[in-house]
Structure 1
Amino acid sequence: MIFSKKHDSTDDLDAVDKRFRQQASWTIAFQQRVLSLLPNRKINILEVGCGTGSFLCSLQSIRNSADIHWVGLDIAYDRLAYAQQRIIADWVNGDGMVLPFPAETFDLVICHYLLLWLKRPCQVLTEMKRVARLGGWIVATAEPDYLSRIDYPDRFVDAGKAQTEALRAMGANPQAGRELPNLFHSAGMEDPLFGIHGTEYQGDEYQNFLEEESRQLKNDIGNGKTIETTIGRVFYVPTFYAIYQKWSK
């Protein structure tokens, strides 16, 4: 069920969902870690900025039972309609800056590659804290830091810089990752646990990763440039996470 209707996007939803599924695959181990924090009882889980539901679907593949009430919220109605076709959850069309839920409703409030796209990420985090129960968790799963990216050999650096600037032009904050601990602090969540996701690749898995990132770079900068998938190619964007357990209002 989808509650309300506010905005549609203009995206190719199949392409968007494919990208979201790829991003969700990068944080599987972290998702397992977060879900292991939750009690074995009836719980409510909210994803803010759920898009086409790919990340929520990934969470469900790790831990799903009749005792979990899943809720996904997004401002784009058509993305929620897309999600509803495949995933069982309550889908809410709303704005993360004014979450349409009572205080202390959810055991886990989580987002994934979201804050970098927001003009007021601190406001969204404040709302995420408000709707989390005492003892509940607020988690920003993945926020990249494109200003610390590694492109090697050096002939790839210019294309990397072009992609970073293209993302900035689209409204993204390319250094959202490094700002994550301070954003939590500013939202009233002092001393969150934070870190940077590790990655490792080999063989075909890495080649497939580079091919996907090559296509994404071409889409972002729009001038036909691609990332070569050559032996010795290194592409890395540090991606931060933060976890906070709420013990006060």
Structure 2
Amino acid sequence: MNGSAYMQGHDASTLASHRTRSAEKQADYLLPRITATSRILDVGCGPGTITCDFAKLASQGEVIGVDYSETAVGSAQAEAEERGITNVKFRTGTAHKLPFDDETFDIVHCHAVLVHIPDVPAALKEMRRVCKTGGYVAAGEPDWETCIVHPYDPRLERWIEVHRELKRRENVEPRCGRYLGSWALEAGFAQDKITVACDVLHYFGAEQVRWWGELYSKRMQTEVGERALKYGVATAEEVEQFATAYLRWSQTEGALWAMTRMKLLAEK
């Protein structure tokens, strides 16, 4: 991934969010394709929780996680060491220039990566290149135009608008999920080899809402808020209001945050 397009950064609050991810939750649609001997590439692996889950499933195979961020790679290596997983490796790299030969992996996966990078068809083409014939490229990506925050708060509605505009300023597509099928076609996959499904990412209930709201409130005080100011899409006062609004939302009974997530599975 190109770091300049990843507006959330890799500070403690962002990595804390990413550490909650698992193969069971974020890559459920891919799990039936994984065998004990699979060779898997996880692109944009972040702190490596999904990657390490893949390594447990492919116990006799090999799993490699790639991320542009050295901070994320270091966190992922620590995750593998803590779990005692030995068939996984991590290295730096980008989705547009993967440091591997053609036809190397049985499965090439990414989660919430393509929404952060420009020229997604080129990235999918590169993922297809390193995938073996008969193997699979998989991607789970959100569609920010479907985001729902309840109860209504004009400050949070304004934040969603700002978030979309930030994406566009970074030359990335906030509605990424809906384009996965057509982008896969552009990358060279055949129509009858492409499957796109969807589910809904959501936070509801006191514990989930408190965690998500407090997390996003902290993000406003780091790179997310800084980029909003850098590009002039929000004022310092608004950024402070966004942080306050998320904190208030996190303490609201009956609160809900939801967004559609699309899941691409393309056979080479």
TM-score range, shorter chain: 0.7 to 0.9
Q: Residues of 2 paired with 1:91 and 1:50: CA distance? A: 8
- Which amino acid is the alignment partner of residue 197 of structure 2? G
Matching residue of 1:55:
50
Structure 1 SS opposite 2:17: helix
Q: Residues of 2 paired with 1:201 and 1:14: CA distance? A: 21
Following superposition, the deviation at residue 32 of structure 1 comes to: 4.2
Q: Residues of 2 paired with 1:52 and 1:200: CA distance? A: 22
Q: In the alignment, which of 56, 64, 68 is matched to residue 71 of structure 1? A: 64
- Preserved contact between residue 123 and residue 187 of structure 1 (Cα < 8 Å): yes
**1:180–1:161 Cα change, 3 Å:** farther
Following superposition, the deviation at residue 201 of structure 1 comes to: 6.9
Could you list the runs of 5+ residues in structure 1 that have no partner in the other structure? 1-5
Matching residue of 2:31:
35
Residue 185 of structure 2 is aligned to residue 189 of structure 1: no
Structure 2 matches for 1:1-249, cutoff 5 A? 13-22=11-20, 24-25=21-22, 28-29=24-25, 31-40=27-36, 42-61=37-56, 63-65=57-59, 67-87=60-80, 88=86, 89-140=88-139, 142-153=140-151, 155-156=152-153, 158-166=155-163, 168-169=165-166, 171=170, 173-191=173-191, 192-198=194-200, 206-218=205-217, 219-220=219-220, 222-223=239-240, 224=243, 225-226=245-246, 227-246=249-268
Q: Residues of 1 paired with 2:135 and 2:207: CA distance? A: 37
Q: What's the C-alpha RMSD, in Å, of the aligned pairs?
A: 2.8
Q: Residues of 1 paired with 2:154 and 2:182: CA distance? A: 29
- Preserved contact between residue 106 and residue 132 of structure 2 (Cα < 8 Å): yes
Following superposition, the deviation at residue 208 of structure 1 comes to: 2.0
1:60-106 C-alpha deviation (Å, 9 max, x unpaired): 45x141x1201011111222122112214221211211111111110
Percent identity over paired residues? 22
Following superposition, the deviation at residue 122 of structure 1 comes to: 1.2
**1:228–1:201 Cα change, 3 Å:** closer
- Which amino acid is the alignment partner of residue 184 of structure 2? F
TM-score, normalised via structure 2 length: 0.75
1:182-221 C-alpha deviation (Å, 9 max, x unpaired): 111111123321111146777xxx3222122212432245
Q: Residues of 2 paired with 1:208 and 1:59: CA distance? A: 28
Following superposition, the deviation at residue 168 of structure 1 comes to: 3.7
Equivalent pairs, count: 231
- Preserved contact between residue 73 and residue 93 of structure 1 (Cα < 8 Å): yes
Matching residue of 1:3:
none
Q: Residues of 1 paired with 2:101 and 2:79: CA distance? A: 27
**1:110–1:241 Cα change, 3 Å:** same
- Preserved contact between residue 209 and residue 251 of structure 2 (Cα < 8 Å): yes
- Preserved contact between residue 211 and residue 250 of structure 2 (Cα < 8 Å): no
- Preserved contact between residue 136 and residue 245 of structure 1 (Cα < 8 Å): yes
Structure 2 SS opposite 1:100: coil
Following superposition, the deviation at residue 143 of structure 1 comes to: 1.0
Following superposition, the deviation at residue 57 of structure 1 comes to: 2.4
Following superposition, the deviation at residue 12 of structure 1 comes to: 5.4
Following superposition, the deviation at residue 48 of structure 1 comes to: 0.8
**1:229–1:188 Cα change, 3 Å:** farther
1:24-48 C-alpha deviation (Å, 9 max, x unpaired): 24x62563441221344x3210001
Could you list the runs of 5+ residues in structure 2 that have no partner in the other structure? 81-85, 226-238
